[in-house]
Amino acid sequence: MAGWSKLADGSVVDCVKRVPEQEILKSNGFEVDPLPKDFEPESEEIRRWFYQFLRVFLKEICGRENLGNLLPPMLGDAQTVDLFKLFLVVRERGGYKAVSKNGLWELVAKESGLESCRSSSVKLVYFRYLDVLERWLERVADDRANLKSKSSDISSSLSEYLMELGAEFKGVLSNSKEKVKEYLHLEESNCLLNTEGDLYLSRNDVVMAVDSDEESMKVDSTNSHVDNSDVANLYDVENKRSSSRKRKPDSMWKMLGWVIGIGKDPCDPLVGSLPEKGKWKSYGNDNLWKQVLSYREAVFSKRHADSNAEQLGWQKIQKMHPSMYDDHIGSGYNLRERGKLVSGDTTTQSRDCPRALSFGAQNDSDKRGVKNHEQKELLQTTYSVFDYEVEKQIPIGPAFQVEIPEWTGLPYENDTKWLGTRVWPLEKVEHRILIERDRIGKGRQDSCGCQFQDSFECVRFHIAEKRYKLKIELGSAFHNWKIDKMGEEAALSWTEEEQKNFETIVRLNSPSADKRLWNVIFKCYPTKSREELLSYYFNVYHLRRRAHQNRFTPDDVDSEDDEELESGLATKGFMHETMESTSSIFHSPNKKHKKSR
Amino acid sequence: MEQVPSFLTSPNLVQLVSSLTLHCPPIAKMRSKDRISYFYDGDVGSVYFGPNHPMKPHRLCMTHHLVLSYELHNKMEIYRPHKAYPVELAQFHSADYVEFLHRITPDTQYLFSHELAKYNLGEDCPVFENLFEFCQIYAGGTIDAARRLNNQVCDIAINWAGGLHHAKKCEASGFCYINDLVLGILELLKHHPRVLYIDIDVHHGDGVEEAFYFTDRVMTVSFHKYGDMFFPGTGDVKEIGEREGKFYAINVPLKDGIDDTSFNRLFKTIISKVVETYLPGAIVLQCGADSLAGDRLGCFNLSIDGHAECVRFVKKFNLPLLVTGGGGYTKENVARCWTVETGVLLDTELPNEIPDNEYIKYFAPECALRIPSGHIENLNSKSYISTIKMQVLENLRSIQHAPSVQMQEVPPDFYIPDFDEDEQNPDERIDQHTRDKQIQRDDEYYEGDNDNDHMDVG
């Protein structure tokens, strides 16, 4: 806005008829004229810029969106008011207050190329559209006054000044990066969110307002950056923060001038040809083109990071919507969803954000629901303008890919180490007993000859019989594979009472209540090893539960084992709402499987 | 000498013999019997991810038990894998990550919240008792399996405990801590210039794809559900690899409810084209059983037969084959599926009635081996599938065109060499590579080439 006030000041100077440039420099402290030498207040590009700025200003800072769209305003007789001219004239006369006080509105109307009888309308128009701007500029100018003494020194050396601008520009870039981070981590902070959000809107809006020709896009993004820093500065002013960033918009102004120049005539020899991206580094930051291009890059990568993060937040909400998944197993699911960017730098940054986001979301998903809705809209408009890759990308870099030695054409020498230890067939025959073996791969016989087929005893008998055969056949492999610990045999070392207790404990500590169950179990059976307990759990407890289900609720067997679902079923088909489950597990859209048959 | 029987000299016989040879390209040189190595360690039975966690290593016990009850053990060799050493795991994974896995226990984890977050341990990938040992077992199994194949002491190696395809170089992901597949493939790469990885888990095989994203020495092909924020979110058909690896990552994104018929047709079309084009020296097949109907996390309609058909098809190529497990969260179905597939690999048809065994109650009341396909609505329209297929085949064609890849002359229609083609041309091919690398920096080079390619093709 220093640039802007320069325009104001400068125009004053201009009206006083062309003070030499050095004078302008001095009077403004540090002004370098980025505009064409034949600068005139009437010049079209300045006017265009003014309108654009005004539109953004009214909309973003004053929140008067409708006004911004109505530029330029028309008077009753369909005469348009040249706001730019009007503004300059009033400034020349000392501003709104001075003009009103001195009753100069007629004169102003006349000077603005309107009939003097229209003075009241002109006043109204000025008040509506320009007064805020004027007051805002004044505030800024006040602030700038503090800087004056210092800046007059700087003005002596133009190149020095340019260097400084470059450095400042860097500051702006890193600053905006910081902001992204801040934004991601402190998303609850409305102030920041709004600032950022508004900025997006403004950028989009402006882009849409103008045609999508690339050059003009550049202009617009630059514009919105002016806006961006203005907003930032506005906050600064209001918060009476340090004035370290005061001159930043100036560099923007220069950049803007350059971009406008290009936009006007892309073939302008002054622009010259830009070096390739790879060579940018060798150019100093004082090159305007470089500032513009780096800025554009920064803005785009920032937007990328942001949109990724937003996308994630939004996805999460969508995911947790009850109507979409009847499982609701975990809100933490989104911990799995990473925004992974291609470039190395941003990767680390963005990898952290989704986590931060999702933790936030767990706490107050409701609140976020509303906010995310907004973000979603925002996102959609964003996509309509910028065509982003929104899919998850494969991360690239030494931290992700494996190094593969070049194929030499010769296989490595055979490595006979670590080929595994053969367990089966047995190294040496351990039994001389002849085993009557069934045909390999043979299924179950239809009839077993038991008195009551498929009775509890019958099944048990056949299992035991089979087990015995297997044990003899496998010999040492039987123990190696821990088959001795498989099946209900695991219960042999348990007393009746212990078994009963176990069941009670499991039932009382529904595993939905997390890991408590096992703590309790470990405590209750201090003499049993963890392995034993687990073995009992899988081989006896679950097997029995399943057998129970098979007999009593054969149509409602939920193979999906453990715990939660089964314990629910055991108490007569009561389905747990797993909403509250805190553990994060694979998410799947089709939940609640019955055993498929 | 004895007189040659007249029928042996008859012109008819000569004709017969010559026609036989004509119609039996090398593919017909069937091995009389495949030698199968199967890996199992009884210790996996006591691994427990914690209450409510869908990943249950106990399914491995059930699988093994079912395999035994069908007496399949008499047709193969069963090995207990060595427990992979940290240094072996660090062939792919970063040393600090391996070290951390080694060190962390459930009791000490609260001291390392920063590291837990860094390595993505916690919710999906909890820290549990014996975590590292579990990793050592399943990774050791896959590594041993690969080594046995390399040593040509077996033709097919099976490790149902392996196949944890989501694990990344520096972090855990999706119940996977150590990526045994990558380690196994690295092992195979010591003996084969090109290895093909096929993944029929319902989730995208992102860890493997990511690890080999830049190389043409491994081609990854993954069939998976994609979209609706389904984990892990990658696996679009547009992900094709980069640099030297461009076109060497193939993704077949599918929607909910795909059935046996369309899945198998698609699988066979793509895989046969891939094998024909890429001529791999060995194949790694990840058989995640969560693509079955009725899986707790999956959303496909595949029956066990449909799933096993993929295994049968891959086996027919008669290449060294490493088969691993993977996902699978309805554990009886996992046991059923992998038992059937063990049978397929052993050329043994299994009767549908499950024999009596300790775990029979898990398979009750029907005690049937095969589960039917599911009834979720199939959202994969014919046109969708054909679009995907066209795109994949189009990308495959780019391999034949890319000058930097220089395969030996394109073999005639569906000709699967059984001789060791690996030894013949790869040197040249790699040399070409090295040269290319020296000449130009990758990106520009490839971009340019591919543009040309597309112009050629289109």
Alpha carbons B134 and B136: distance in angstroms, whole number: 5
Q: What's residue A512's pLDDT? A: 55
Q: In angstroms, rounded to a whole number, what is the distance separating the alpha carbons of residues A241 and A442?
A: 85
- B285 bridge partner residues: B198, B323
Beta carbons of B296 and A518 less than 8 Å apart: no
What is the phi/psi pair of residue B286, to 5°? -95, 120
Nearest CA-CA distance, residue A404 and chain B, Å: 8
Burial of A353 (0-12, 13-18, 19+ CB in 10 A): buried
- Residues making up the binding site of B for a divalent metal cation: 201, 203, 290
pLDDT in tens, A495-541: 888 888 888 887 777 655 556 677 788 888 888 888 888 888 888 88
- Which helix (H) or strand (E) covers residue B437, if one does? helix B426-439
Q: Does B166 touch chain A (CB under 8 A)?
A: no
Residue of higher predicted confidence among A351 and A256: A256
pLDDT (tens digit per residue) in B292-306: 999 999 999 999 999
Q: pLDDT at position B40, please?
A: 95
Q: For residue A127, what pLDDT is reported?
A: 81
Residue A177's pLDDT is what?
Answer: 47
Task: Identify which of A412, A420, A557 has the shortest CB distance to residue B79.
Answer: A420
- Mutate one of A315, A353, A401 to test the B interface: name it (highest B CB count within 10 A): A401
The average pLDDT across B16-21 equals 45
| C-beta atoms of A418 and B358 within 8 A | no
Q: For A310-316, what is the mean pLDDT?
A: 39
Q: From CA B197, how far away is CA A558, in angstroms rounded?
A: 34
Give the number of beta-carbon pairs within 8 Å between A and B: 323
Cβ distance B357 to A463 less than 8 Å, yes or no, reads yes
Please tell me which of the candidates B52, B148, B206 has its beta carbon nearest to residue A583: B52
The whole-number pLDDT of residue A254 equals 74
Residues B427-442: tens digit of each pLDDT:
444 444 444 444 444 4
In this prediction, residue B172 carries a pLDDT of: 95
Q: What number is the average pLDDT over the span B363-387?
A: 90
Q: With contacts defined as CB-CB under 8 Å, which chain A residues touch B233?
A: 336-337, 391-392
Query: B349, A441: Cβ pair inside 8 Å?
Result: yes
Computed on alpha carbons and rounded to an integer, the radius of gyration of chain A in Å comes to 38
Q: What residue has token string 């103008």?
A: A210
* Amino acid letter for position B139: A
Picking from A446, A482, A515, the nearest residue to B51 by CB comes out as: A515
State the DSSP code for B26.
G
Report CB contact under 8 Å: B234, A318. no
Amino acid A250: pLDDT: 61
The answer to whether the Cβ–Cβ distance between B74 and A318 falls below 8 Å is no
Residue A296 corresponds to which tokens in the numbers above?
Answer: 């554009």
CA distance A416 to chain B (A): 8
ipTM of predicted complex: 0.72
3-state secondary structure B91-152: CCCCHHHHHHHHHCCCCCHHHHHHHHHHCCCCCCCCCCCCHHHHHHHHHHHHHHHHHHHHCC
Mutate to test the interface with B, among A403, A468, A481 (most CBs of B within 10 A): A481
Q: Which amino acid is at A123?
A: K
Q: Nearest CA to CA, how far is B382 from chain A (Å)?
A: 22
Q: Of the candidates B140, B329, B353, which has its C-beta nearest A444's C-beta?
A: B353
What is the DSSP secondary structure assignment for residue A580, as one 8-state letter?
Answer: G
Is A423–B79 a contact, with Cβ atoms under 8 angstroms apart?
yes
The per-residue pLDDT for A548 is 81
Give the one of B94, B147, B232 whose C-beta lies nearest to A415's C-beta: B147
Contact assignment for B329 to A560 by CB distance below 8 Å: yes
Long-range pairs of A154-161 with CB within 8 A, sequence gap ≥ 24: A154/A29, A154/A30, A155/A25, A155/A26, A155/A29, A155/A30, A155/A31, A158/A32, A159/A286, A161/A30, A161/A32
pLDDT band at A447 (very low <50, low <70, confident <90, very high): low
The pLDDT value recorded for residue A474 is 85
Relative to beta strand B195-199, strand B218-225 is parallel
Question: For position A360, what pLDDT does the model report?
Answer: 34
Question: Among A181-185, A377-381, A444-448, B367-371, which is the least confidently predicted range?
Answer: A377-381
Please, which residues 239-258 of chain B have a Cβ atom closer than 8 Å to chain A? 239, 242, 256
Question: Which position has the higher pLDDT, B377 or A216?
Answer: B377
What string of DSSP letters covers A427-443?
Answer: SS----SPP--PPTT--
Q: What is the pLDDT of residue A89?
A: 83
A74-132 tens-digit pLDDT: 776 667 777 888 888 888 887 888 888 878 888 888 887 777 777 777 888 888 778 77
Asked if B215 has any chain A CB less than 8 Å from its own CB, the reply is yes
Distance CA A304, CA A306 (A): 5
Q: What is the pLDDT of residue B84?
A: 94
**B-chain residues near A559 (CB < 8 A):** 294, 330-333, 362
Nearest-by-Cβ selection for B124 from A405, A443, A584: A584
Residue B85 confidence (pLDDT) above 80: yes
Does residue B334 sit at the A interface (CB-CB below 8 Å)?
no
Active-site option among B64, B165, B166, B224: B166
This prediction has a pTM of 0.57
Q: A399, B333: Cβ pair inside 8 Å?
A: no
Tell if the CB–CB gap between B329 and A319 is shorter than 8 Å.
Answer: no
Residue B65 bears catalytic tag = no
Using pLDDT thresholds of 50, 70 and 90, give the confidence band for residue A490.
confident
> Which of B143, B296, B345 should one mutate to test binding to chain A, selecting the residue with the greatest count of A CBs within 10 A?
B296
Give the other-Cβ count within 10 Å of B371's Cβ.
Answer: 24
| B95–chain A nearest CA distance, Å | 11
Residues of A in contact with B228 (CB under 8 A): 589
